[in-house]
Structure 1
Amino acid sequence: MKGRKREIPAWKQEVVAEIKRLIEKYPVIGVLDISDLPASQFQQMRHKLLGQAEIVVAKNTLVCRALEETKAKNPKLVELASFLRGQTGVIFTQMNPFKLSKLLRESKISAPAKPGSKSMKDVVIPAGETDFAPGPVVGELQRVGIKARIQAGKVVILEDCHLLKAGDTISKEIADVLTKFGIMPLELGLKLRAAYEGGMIFAGGVLEVDEKKILDELKLGSLNAFNLALNINYPTPLTIGLLIAKARASAQNLAVNARLPVAEVLPLLLARANAEMLGLATVIGGKNFQALDEELRNLVGLSTPPAAA
């Protein structure tokens, strides 16, 4: 005798139906990693995203079922199932995946150190006086590599100490010291594992774009393209003005060098002829003072005959 078909609980059906409704409503669907994120911080971030995105936290099996049931309309969407592992949330939004990734990165909050966690940034303890009262704290600092001692009734750090590098595992001793200094080396937030938009799946790493670097590269590329177009005389809206000015200057130089008496260069030709005439007059006047009339002698500065050699 065949066993009866197992009936799916109503609450599970409601969760799947809600996810399917949101899939139909929003063009962008993302898979979030919410592991190691305390409930209070999760609620804070959820509140920050109000009006911009909706987040659903459900069992991975239920999310997979919802993706399967929408496969007929969005065949590519089912590939998001490969990113469902561990503690997962699903985010639905109208903003594009790159903007969503940036928003989530900027929404991270600093958190105190936990033993066994990895530091998100370099931590340097600077040299100088501290607010700590003399006592066992000196030994605690020294045990983690911080050079400290008591001077004039105060605990003093003798030199800068590079306590942690980004990616270092935090020990219990270091976590306790960081707490005393009020340093929070961890960053908690929603991590975007992947996002779907317009029939494409974007992995989380692809979406983490360094905007400053991209803008700098675009500026450099634009400048190189402009210089190339200018050097090969390629007319574009940006280069046409400079190309015309360059052509005009070349034509003017050619006309001047060829002694071509056109209206644009005639004043230059006359100025050059006058300069050459004065130069010749200076040479002649130096040899024969009487060969120049009075006006010309004044022009070249020979108002009196040169002294005899």
Structure 2
Amino acid sequence: MPKSKRNRAVTLSKTKKKGREHKEAIVNSIRESVEKYPSVYVFAFENMRNLKFKQFRESLNSGGRFFLGSNKVMQVALGRSASDEIKPGLYKISKFLRGETGLFFTTMSEEEVKKVFDEFEVYDFARTGCNATEKVELKEGPLTEFSHEMEPFLRKQGLPVRLNKGVVELISDFVVCEEGNPLSPESARILRLLGVKMALFKLNLICSLRGDDFELYREGLEVSDIESS
């Protein structure tokens, strides 16, 4: 009787933060999902928000399974080449686990999966280091959206402000951020105070393996990439 590939010994690199047992548990969970679910998708994410992602998972009600974390560990679980993959074709999607990516195992149809991923997007406040999506400039004059108690805090963020008869006043025009430039900690705080949301949390499908059928969704990527990476 042929030996199960799932029970094959796995060599994992050492890590200071998480031990071998943790990695092996992830590998085993992924391999169990390979056997349990008929389809697996690789997706990329932008501006991850844990609470929003949790809400997205709960909204599916599909009995599916998500995996995020070390791409290398997920690749080991699936197989990084045709010789060590645990199911035919898995090494193809394994090659696309690069950058901010994850796995989604499901019983949903491809049409259903595409629909929920395409429709889901949430805007949130951008964090330090994110690139500004637009120029935000405050004009000289009263800042009526802020109470007088906010004046010391605003000055600490670099805003040229003063109190004028109990009203926070900007004494000169001030550029909070320029489009395309990374946000400083101060700029990110000011945008939050202004209620300006620039970060789009979005999940983008990259590829899938449904049964024996591999499909690539992401424009700009070629199947040849998986052979050369």
- TM-score, with structure 1 as normaliser: 0.47
Match of 2:136 among 106, 112, 124: 124
Corresponding residue for residue 187 of structure 1: 200
The residue identity in structure 2 corresponding to 1:175 is: A
Change (3 A) 1:89 1:140: same
> What is the distance in 2 between the residues matched to 1:196 and 1:53?
15
Change (3 A) 1:118 1:196: farther
Q: Deviations over 1:99-138 (max 9, x none)?
A: 645533542333333222223x325356552223163345
Match of 2:86 among 69, 83, 98: 69
Corresponding residue for residue 51 of structure 1: 62
| Structure with a larger share of its residues in strand | 2
TM-superposed CA distance for 1:52, in Å, is: 8.1
> What is the distance in 1 between the residues matched to 2:113 and 2:94?
19
Corresponding residue for residue 136 of structure 1: 152
The structure that has the greater radius of gyration is 1
Q: Deviations over 1:61-94 (max 9, x none)?
A: 11336982221xxx4x532121113554211343
TM-superposed CA distance for 1:157, in Å, is: 5.2
Aligned length: 190
Matches within 5 A, 1:235-246: none
Change (3 A) 1:170 1:96: same
Change (3 A) 1:199 1:161: farther
- TM-score, with structure 2 as normaliser: 0.60
> What is the distance in 1 between the residues matched to 2:154 and 2:36?
56
> What is the distance in 1 between the residues matched to 2:113 and 2:173?
38
For structure 1, the 5+ residue unaligned runs are 1-5, 208-309
Match of 2:35 among 1, 16, 21: 21
SS in 2 for 1:69: coil
> What is the distance in 1 between the residues matched to 2:182 and 2:27?
42
Change (3 A) 1:164 1:49: farther
Alpha-carbon contact 2:80-2:94 (below 8 Å) kept = no
The residue identity in structure 1 corresponding to 2:218 is: G
The residue identity in structure 1 corresponding to 2:97 is: L
Change (3 A) 1:41 1:138: closer
Percent same amino acid among aligned pairs?
19
Alpha-carbon contact 1:35-1:87 (below 8 Å) kept = yes
Change (3 A) 1:90 1:50: same
TM-superposed CA distance for 1:31, in Å, is: 0.8
| Structure with a larger share of its residues in helix | 1
User: With CA pairs under 8 Å and 6+ residues apart, which has the higher RCO, 1 or 2?
Assistant: 2
Give the CA RMSD over aligned residues. 4.1
Q: Deviations over 1:133-169 (max 9, x none)?
A: 163345356x36xx75544421245898664455431
Alpha-carbon contact 1:16-1:65 (below 8 Å) kept = no
> What is the distance in 2 between the residues matched to 1:116 and 1:14?
36
Matches within 5 A, 1:88-237: 88-93=101-106, 94-96=108-110, 100-101=113-114, 103-119=116-132, 121-122=133-134, 124=136, 129-133=144-148, 135-137=151-153, 139-140=155-156, 143=158, 150-156=163-169, 163-164=176-177, 167-196=180-209, 199-205=213-219
> What is the distance in 2 between the residues matched to 1:165 and 1:13?
44
For structure 2, the 5+ residue unaligned runs are 1-7, 11-20, 222-229
The residue identity in structure 2 corresponding to 1:31 is: V
